[in-house]
Amino acid sequence: MSIIQILFFALSAFAIISAVMVLISKNPIHSVLWLILVFFAISGHYILLNAQFLAIVNIIVYAGAIMVLFLFVIMLINVKKDSEPQKQFLVKLLGVVAGGSFLTLLVALVKQTGQLQGRTLLMKDGVIGLIHPLGKALFNEYVVPFEISSVLFLSAMVGAVIIGKK
Amino acid sequence: MTLLSFDWALIIEKLILIVIIVLTTLLITLYTTFGERKVAAILQDRPGPNRAGPFGLLQPLADGLKLIMKEEIIPTSASKWLFILGPGLAMTASLMTSAVIPWGTDVHLFGRTIALQVADVNIGILYIFAVVSMGVYGIMIGGWASNNKFSLMSALRAASQAISYEIAMGLALIALLMTTGSLSLKTIVADQAAGHWWNVVYQPLGFIIFFICAMAECNRTPFDLPEAENELNFGYHQEYSSMKLGFYLFAEYVNMIMSSAIMASMYFGGYDLPFFDETTVAPNIAAMIGVGTLLIKIVLFVFLFMWIRWTIPRFRYDQLMNLGWKTMIPLALFNMLLTGALILAKL
Domain ranges of chain A: 3-129, 130-166
The answer as to whether B45 is a domain residue is no
Q: At what angle do helices B185-193 and B242-267 cross, to 10 degrees?
A: 50
Euclidean distance between CA atoms B140 and A29, whole angstroms: 11
B177 contacts chain A (CB < 8 A): no
The answer as to whether B281 is a domain residue is yes
Say which residue, B95 or A112, is predicted with more confidence.
B95
B155 contacts chain A (CB < 8 A): yes
A144 contacts chain B (CB < 8 A): no
Helices (H), chain A: 3-24, 28-48, 52-58, 67-77, 89-112, 131-140, 143-165
Q: Work out the average pLDDT over B308-316.
A: 85
Q: Measure CB to CB from residue B4 to each of A2, A27, A71 and give the nearest one.
A: A2
Inform me whether the pLDDT recorded for B60 exceeds 80. Answer: yes
Contact A68 B155 (CB under 8 A): no
**Domain extent at residue B318:** 74-346
Please count the residues of chain B: 347
Mean pLDDT by 10 residues, chain A (166 residues): 80 92 85 90 86 86 85 76 68 90 90 68 64 84 91 93 87
- pLDDT of res. B5: 61
Q: At what angle do helices B329-346 and B149-180 cross, to 10 degrees?
A: 10
For residue B87, give how far its alpha carbon lies from the nearest alpha carbon of chain A (Å): 15
Q: Work out the average pLDDT over B293-312.
A: 89
- pLDDT of res. A147: 92
B33 CB-near residues (< 8 Å, 6+ apart): B60, B63, B249, B250, B253
The answer as to whether B236 is a domain residue is yes
For residue B127, give how far its alpha carbon lies from the nearest alpha carbon of chain A (Å): 6
B144 contacts chain A (CB < 8 A): yes
- The C-alpha angle A67, A68, A72, rounded to 5 degrees, equals 115
- pLDDT of res. B1: 42
Backbone Cα Rg of chain B: 21
For residue B53, give how far its alpha carbon lies from the nearest alpha carbon of chain A (Å): 44
B2, β-bridge pairs: B7
Nearest residue of A to residue B163, measured between CA atoms: A65
Q: Give the DSSP per-residue string, A79-104.
A: --TTTSPPPPHHHHHHHHHHHHHHHH
| Residue type at B296 in one-letter notation | I
The answer as to whether B273 is a domain residue is yes
State the burial class of residue B113 (Cβ atoms within 10 Å of its Cβ: 0-12, 13-18, 19+). exposed
B163 contacts chain A (CB < 8 A): yes
B333 contacts chain A (CB < 8 A): no
Is there a contact between B209 and B332 (Cβ–Cβ < 8 Å)?
yes
Please state which architecture CATH assigns to domain A3-129.
Answer: Up-down Bundle (1.20)
Inform me whether the pLDDT recorded for B226 exceeds 50. Answer: yes
The answer as to whether B61 is a domain residue is no
> What share of chain B has pLDDT > 70, as a percent?
96
A36 contacts chain B (CB < 8 A): yes
B11 contacts chain A (CB < 8 A): no
Structural domains counted in chain B: 1
Contact B133 A64 (CB under 8 A): yes
Q: Measure CB to CB from residue B126 to each of A33, A36, A56 and give the nearest one.
A: A56
Inform me whether the pLDDT recorded for B2 exceeds 70. Answer: no
For residue B131, give how far its alpha carbon lies from the nearest alpha carbon of chain A (Å): 8
The answer as to whether B58 is a domain residue is no
- What phi, psi does B218 have (nearest 5°)? -80, 0
- pLDDT of res. A118: 61
- pLDDT of res. B6: 63
Euclidean distance between CA atoms B131 and B137, whole angstroms: 10
- Lowest-confidence region among B163-172, B268-277, B289-298: B268-277
- The reported pTM is 0.85
- pLDDT of res. A41: 92
Q: Work out the average pLDDT over B235-258.
A: 85
Where b means 16+ CB within 10 Å and e means fewer, B222-231 reads bbbbbbbeee
